[in-house]
């Protein structure tokens, strides 16, 4: 049993494993990181047993390494995710995700009258702000706040 | 260090620092003393009003003419290529190639910020939907400083629709730089949003919330009235209950401080009774007139002429 588990997380020679993704958020993470357009093999695990979270998802992207600012984009959907970089079958780096100060292009503005929802092809931009301890995305254009429960990914 | 606002678009009042705001107010003071200054000398300013407006458009066009400039543009989108489906980016790019500066009012929130990113000439936001109206804020600040002699340490009472009123939101944000104390008088349904109160908290300033106007009048330096609109209430009965609580009458000003002034962004409907108009504390019409000087100052500063 132990052996099989090890095989799941370390089967790529070089690349990145994104582990501890909430089980229902794997596809969103794939999209945010642009892995749906990847040319190298990408393996997905959904509803995998997790001691810590009950179930989890993971992604293994061969020959793919991410800049921290790209990885942090997934923090909004998968705040529990851990990023494991692998070279020559060895774990060379492990990190957790952090919500970045700016979120661009991945979230829709909640305000239907925002210019990003009214005109075509305007990429969204938000500043992350905490109001009374709660996360809010402040739209760069309309300056309205999108709260965590209203976040919709593009 | 001297302050320059050359080529700096004004989209939101927070785009300018408190020092830069005071710089604009100083220039406006100069224009009030001497409004006819041919600084533009035939330069072209575009006035793009994607929705109708009376005071803002006329006051901008007056400001441009007092400065010796020429105006191109439109006062509604009817008959323009916007109705044919032209994108905002294309309209702005085209107009920016004709004019030295663009003044824009648009019903879409965030349209002004977007326009400033595609335009090669600076943009002055004359109102973008429910978002910002920074030139109104500038003239409010000018009126406050002119009547009080300072922007510092004032007690500002904001009355009426504090939830949806964009002028109120900008004023709170701007006055938070100047150690103001805020009295927030509104029906419960129309309280100042938490996100706007955050500006007051961030500046470690005081505010108090009230549902009755009369008790705060005696200690207010500025009473900023706004309209409570019937359509903001889901239940019309709730409106009927509160509507008279936010009507200012002359008799209520008997105990007001001598320096107290009444401001209103206009148009007024019935929230300031006409019997207040003759009271020397009524300042809303002069406030509207100050809009011309504030806008002259912004145009001249942004074009690097002051």
Q: Does B87 touch chain A (CB under 8 A)?
A: yes
Pairs of residues, one from chain A and one from chain B, whose beta carbons lie less than 8 Å apart: 54
Q: Is the pLDDT of residue A5 over 60?
A: no
Per-residue pLDDT, averaged over B236-251, amounts to 86
* Nearest Cβ partner for A113 among B129, B132, B194: B129
Q: Is the pLDDT of residue B244 over 80?
A: no
- Identify the CA nearest to A60 among candidates A97, A26, A25: A26
Structure tokens, B260: 């107290």
How far does B214 lie from chain A, in Å, by closest CA?
A: 31
- pLDDT value for B114: 98
What's the CATH number of domain A2-96, 1.10.260.40, 3.40.50.620, 3.30.70.140, 3.20.20.70?
3.30.70.140
The second-level CATH assignment, the architecture, of A102-153 is Roll (2.30)
Q: Is the pLDDT of residue A87 over 90?
A: yes
pLDDT class for A3, splitting at 50, 70, 90? Answer: very low
- pLDDT value for B61: 96
Say whether B130 and A141 touch across the interface (CB within 8 A).
no
How far does A123 lie from chain B, in Å, by closest CA?
A: 10
Q: Is the pLDDT of residue A9 over 70?
A: no
List the single range of A2-16, B202-216, B221-235 with lowest mean pLDDT.
Answer: A2-16
Q: Find the catalytic residue in B43, B55, B163, B232.
A: B55
Residue in chain A closest to B90 (alpha carbons) equals A119
pLDDT class for A1, splitting at 50, 70, 90? Answer: very low
pLDDT per position as a tens digit, B53-111: 888 999 999 999 999 999 999 998 887 888 888 999 999 999 999 999 999 999 999 99
B133 is catalytic: yes
How far does B64 lie from chain A, in Å, by closest CA?
A: 27
Helical packing angle, B166-175 and B194-202, nearest 10°: 10
- pLDDT value for B245: 77
Structure tokens, A26: 């794997």
Q: Is the pLDDT of residue A8 over 90?
A: no
% of chain B residues with pLDDT over 70: 100
Q: Does A151 touch chain B (CB under 8 A)?
A: no
Residue in chain A closest to B14 (alpha carbons) equals A143
- pLDDT value for B295: 98
B43 is catalytic: no
Could you tell me which residues are beta bridge partners of residue B297?
none
- pLDDT value for A2: 45
Mean confidence (pLDDT) of chain B? 94
Q: Does A116 touch chain B (CB under 8 A)?
A: yes
List the single range of A144-148, B27-31, B104-108, B115-119 with lowest mean pLDDT.
Answer: A144-148
Identify the residue with better confidence: A1 or B144. Answer: B144
Query: For residue A27, what are the CA distances in angstroms to A22, A45, A77?
Result: 10, 10, 10
- Highest mean pLDDT among A69-73, A129-133, B66-70 belongs to B66-70
Concatenating the DSSP letter of every residue in chain B gives -----TT--BSSGGGS-HHHHHHHHHHHHHHHH------STT-EEEEEESS--SHHHHHHHHHHHHTT-EEEEESSSTTSTTTTT--HHHHHHHHHTT-SEEEEEESSBTHHHHHHHH-SS-EEEEEETTS--HHHHHHHHHHHHHHHS-STT-EEEEES-TTT-HHHHHHHHHHGGGT-EEEEE--GGGPPPHHHHHHHHHTT--EEEES-SGGGGGG-SEEEE----GGG-SSHHHHHHHGGGG-B-GGGGTTS-TT-EEE--S--SSSB-GGGTTSTTB-HHHHHHHHHHHHHHHHHHHTT--
The answer to whether the pTM exceeds 0.95 is: no
Tell me the domains of chain B and their CATH numbers. Answer: 13-132+291-302 (3.40.50.1370), 135-288 (3.40.50.1370)
Distance from C-alpha of A100 to C-alpha of A70, rounded to nearest angstrom: 9
Q: Chain B window 33-72: which residues touch A at a Cβ cutoff of 8 Å?
A: none
Q: Is the pLDDT of residue B123 over 90?
A: yes
Q: Is the pLDDT of residue A7 over 70?
A: no
Q: What are the two backbone dihedrals, phi and then psi, of residue B79, each rounded to the nearest 5 degrees?
A: 85, 0
Helical packing angle, B134-148 and B18-33, nearest 10°: 70
Identify the residue with better confidence: A6 or A113. Answer: A113
pLDDT per position as a tens digit, B160-194: 999 988 899 999 999 999 999 999 999 888 899 98
Q: Is A44 helix (H, G, I), strand (E, B) or coil?
A: strand
Per-residue burial over B53-87, b if 16 or more Cβ lie within 10 Å, else e, is: beebbebbbbbbebbebebebbbebeeeebeeeee
Residue in chain B closest to A110 (alpha carbons) equals B109
How far does B12 lie from chain A, in Å, by closest CA?
A: 9
Per-residue pLDDT, averaged over A54-68, amounts to 91
Contacts of B130 in chain A (CB under 8 A): 113
Distance from C-alpha of A75 to C-alpha of A137, rounded to nearest angstrom: 13
Domain ranges of chain A: 2-96, 102-153
Q: Does A125 touch chain B (CB under 8 A)?
A: no
Say whether B108 and A113 touch across the interface (CB within 8 A).
yes
Q: Find the catalytic residue in B23, B77, B91, B133.
A: B133
- pLDDT value for A61: 93
């Amino acid at each position: 049993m132990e052996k099989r588990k090890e095989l799941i997380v370390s089967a790529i020679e070089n690349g990145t494993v994104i582990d501890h993704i909430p089980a229902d958020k794997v596809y969103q993470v794939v999209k945010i990181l642009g892995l749906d357009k990847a040319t190298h093999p990408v393996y997905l695990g959904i509803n995998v047993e997790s001691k810590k979270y009950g179930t989890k998802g993971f992604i293994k992207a061969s020959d793919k390494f991410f800049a921290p600012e790209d990885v942090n984009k997934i923090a909004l959907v998968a705040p529990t995710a851990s990023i494991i970089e692998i070279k020559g079958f060895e774990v060379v780096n492990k990190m957790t995700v952090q919500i970045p100060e700016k979120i661009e292009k991945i979230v829709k503005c909640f305000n239907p009258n925002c210019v990003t929802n009214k005109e075509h092809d305007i990429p969204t931009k938000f500043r992350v702000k905490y109001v009374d301890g709660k996360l809010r995305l402040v739209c760069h254009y309309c300056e309205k706040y999108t709260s965590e429960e209203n976040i919709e990914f593009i | 260090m001297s302050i320059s606002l050359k080529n700096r678009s004004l989209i939101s009042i927070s785009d300018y620092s408190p020092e830069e705001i005071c710089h604009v107010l100083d220039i406006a003071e100069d224009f009030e003393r001497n409004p006819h200054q041919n600084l533009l000398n035939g330069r072209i300013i575009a006035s793009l009003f994607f929705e109708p407006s009376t005071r803002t458009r006329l006051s901008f066009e007056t400001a441009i003419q007092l400065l010796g400039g020429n105006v191109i543009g439109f006062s509604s989108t009817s008959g323009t290529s916007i109705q044919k489906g032209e994108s905002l980016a294309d309209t702005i790019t085209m107009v920016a190639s004709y004019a030295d500066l663009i003044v824009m009012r648009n019903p879409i929130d965030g349209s002004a910020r977007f326009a400033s990113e595609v335009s090669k000439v600076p943009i002055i936001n004359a109102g973008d939907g429910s978002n910002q109206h920074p030139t109104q804020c500038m003239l409010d600040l000018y009126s406050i400083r002119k009547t009080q002699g300072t922007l510092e340490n004032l007690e500002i009472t904001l009355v009426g629709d504090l939830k949806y009123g964009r002028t109120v939101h900008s004023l709170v944000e701007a006055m938070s730089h100047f150690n103001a104390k805020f009295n927030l008088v509104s029906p419960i349904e129309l309280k100042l949003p938490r996100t706007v109160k955050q500006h007051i908290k961030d500046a470690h300033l005081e505010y108090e919330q009230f549902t009755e106007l009369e008790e705060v009048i005696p200690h207010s330096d500025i009473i900023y009235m706004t309209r409570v609109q019937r359509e903001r209430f889901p239940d019309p009965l709730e409106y009927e209950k509160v509507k008279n609580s936010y009507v200012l009458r002359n008799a209520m000003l008997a105990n007001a401080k001598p320096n107290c002034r009444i401001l209103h962004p206009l148009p007024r409907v019935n929230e300031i009774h006409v019997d207040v108009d003759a009271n020397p504390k009524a300042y809303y019409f002069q406030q509207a007139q100050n809009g011309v000087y504030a806008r002259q100052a912004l145009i001249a500063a942004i074009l690097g002429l002051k």
